[in-house]
Amino acid sequence: MSAKAEKKSAGGGDFAGKFGAWWNGKEYVAPSDQPADDSAHASEPAKLEVEAPKKLAAVEKPAAAPKAAAPKAAEPASAFQPTEVRLRALSTIWGEGRFTPGSPELDARLLDPIFDAADKGGEIGFIGCDPALLKSCASRSGRVLRAAEWRSACLAAMKEQCPDVQSFAAEIDRPKAFADGSLEGLVSMDAFAYADHKAGLVARAHRALSDTGCWVFLDTVRTTKKTPPTAFASAWAEPHVTTSDDIESLLTMAGFKSVERISATDEIIYASRAGYARLAYALEEAATGGFKGREGALFLQELAWEAQTWRARCRAFEGGALGVDVWIARKTEADPSKKKLSQQEIEDLF
């Protein structure tokens, strides 16, 4: 980087350009340092490249997350709660009401199987889902929605943003917020990835569903012996990522009669890159949005942690060390006439 670019970087500004260069692995060039024949585009920041993911030979370990500067002066102890600042950082990256990368299309993939049987009623339960998904479900149905959450800040956010949803604090390993046989549908996100006692999670989910109930969940799985250590932030809990074979075995032993698995890795990669693209242009506004002292330092630190860990996770996805699947587990045999083709089956047709 040239001395002029370094000087400009030290003084701030052009957040979108710097973040875009960092994400794309390119050298940052300040607008004033561009060649003369590029003068027509000198004011444009570097764009994030959102393209079809390419397979990597190996998972790359990202650089350590930058440390936020210490505040210059002490602030009142009651000024803010760190977990609330983290949620604000997550919504800045992934969108309002989201704790992880997502999209309306991904929401539909999780909810559609629940609503396949229009003649069925029953409550719908959620484990570890964000307000955006709960709102999407509420917009499609007047059924009773019950949500179990093990993260106190996330639970508070759900109660505030989704007051009509019955939200409860519950351990992820044994979500006891649901009465036996009370749910026609259950939706969860990365419950297996964070559950320590996975058999307890599966047993509780099976008990909570009615005799015709369906559990749809999105979960991260590993294909190697160990989870890439930099692929998860440790702010909430230590992840216990398992394999797809282990998940299928647990579902079968618990008594689920039909188990379907569909890859959602590409959708998650695209959703995460869309979040980074949004973040690149939100950083400047966030930096000038009144954050000061410890709160501002923590907010930027949380953004950095989330950016680094998800960048590492995307590299692991592209390298094949991690994957994301949407699972559909039913307590009854699936109706062959309503079975949807998998991605591979669709490709085989052509």
**Longest Cα pair distance anywhere in the chain, in angstroms?**
71
Proportion of the chain above pLDDT 90, given as a percent: 45
Whether 47 has a pLDDT exceeding 70, the answer reads no
Same domain membership, residue 233 and residue 170? yes
Tell the residue number behind the tokens 């009142």, with chain if given: 76
Distance CA 116, CA 118 (A): 6
Same domain membership, residue 232 and residue 157? yes
Q: Is 293 exposed, middle or buried (0-12, 13-18, 19+ CB in 10 A)?
A: middle
Whether 48 has a pLDDT exceeding 50, the answer reads no
Q: Is-contact 127 186, C-beta < 8 A?
A: yes
State the average pLDDT for the chain: 77
Same domain membership, residue 229 and residue 114? yes
- Domain membership flag for residue 115: yes
- Domain membership flag for residue 312: no
Same domain membership, residue 10 and residue 111? no
Helix intervals (H) in 291-336: 293-319
- Domain membership flag for residue 286: no
pLDDT (0 to 100) of residue 1: 39
Q: Is-contact 158 167, C-beta < 8 A?
A: yes
**pTM score, whole prediction:** 0.73
Mean local confidence (pLDDT), 336-345: 53
Whether 177 has a pLDDT exceeding 50, the answer reads yes
Mean local confidence (pLDDT), 53-59: 34
> Residue 211 has which token pair?
């005799």
Query: What's the domain range around 111?
Result: 92-269+320-349
Same domain membership, residue 211 and residue 339? yes
Q: pLDDT digits over 286-340, tens only?
A: 655 556 667 777 888 888 888 888 999 999 999 999 999 999 999 998 665 555 5
Same domain membership, residue 11 and residue 115? no
The SS3 assignment for 319 reads: helix
Tell the residue number behind the tokens 């009773």, with chain if given: 144
Same domain membership, residue 174 and residue 37? no
Q: Where are the beta strands (DSSP E) in 23-90?
A: none
- Domain membership flag for residue 225: yes
pLDDT (0 to 100) of residue 16: 56
Proportion of the chain above pLDDT 70, given as a percent: 66
CATH at 158: 3.40.50.150
pLDDT (0 to 100) of residue 109: 95
What total of structural domains would you count in the chain?
2
Whether 35 has a pLDDT exceeding 50, the answer reads no
Whether 185 has a pLDDT exceeding 60, the answer reads yes
Same domain membership, residue 25 and residue 118? no
pLDDT (0 to 100) of residue 261: 96
Q: Which residues contact 318 (CB under 8 A, 6 or more apart)?
A: 53, 54, 55, 56, 269
Higher-confidence residue of 237 and 175: namely 175
Least confident window among 44-48, 141-145, 289-293, 343-347 = 44-48
- Domain membership flag for residue 213: yes
Same domain membership, residue 113 and residue 45? no
- Domain membership flag for residue 66: no
Name the amino acid, one letter, at 69.
A
Q: pLDDT digits over 79-116, tens only?
A: 456 778 888 888 888 999 999 999 999 999 999 999 87
Listed residue (20, 198, 212) closest to 117, CA to CA:
212
- Domain membership flag for residue 229: yes
Same domain membership, residue 12 and residue 106? no
> Residue 164 has which token pair?
């009509």
Distance CA 320, CA 284 (A): 34
- Domain membership flag for residue 311: no
| CA count, 13 A, side-chain hemisphere, 288 | 8
Whether 276 has a pLDDT exceeding 90, the answer reads no
Higher-confidence residue of 106 and 54: namely 106
| CA count, 13 A, side-chain hemisphere, 269 | 22
Listed residue (21, 211, 186, 14) closest to 110, CA to CA:
186
Same domain membership, residue 134 and residue 12? no
Same domain membership, residue 102 and residue 45? no
Instruction: State the sign of the Cα–Cα–Cα–Cα dihedral 94, 98, 101, 105.
Output: negative
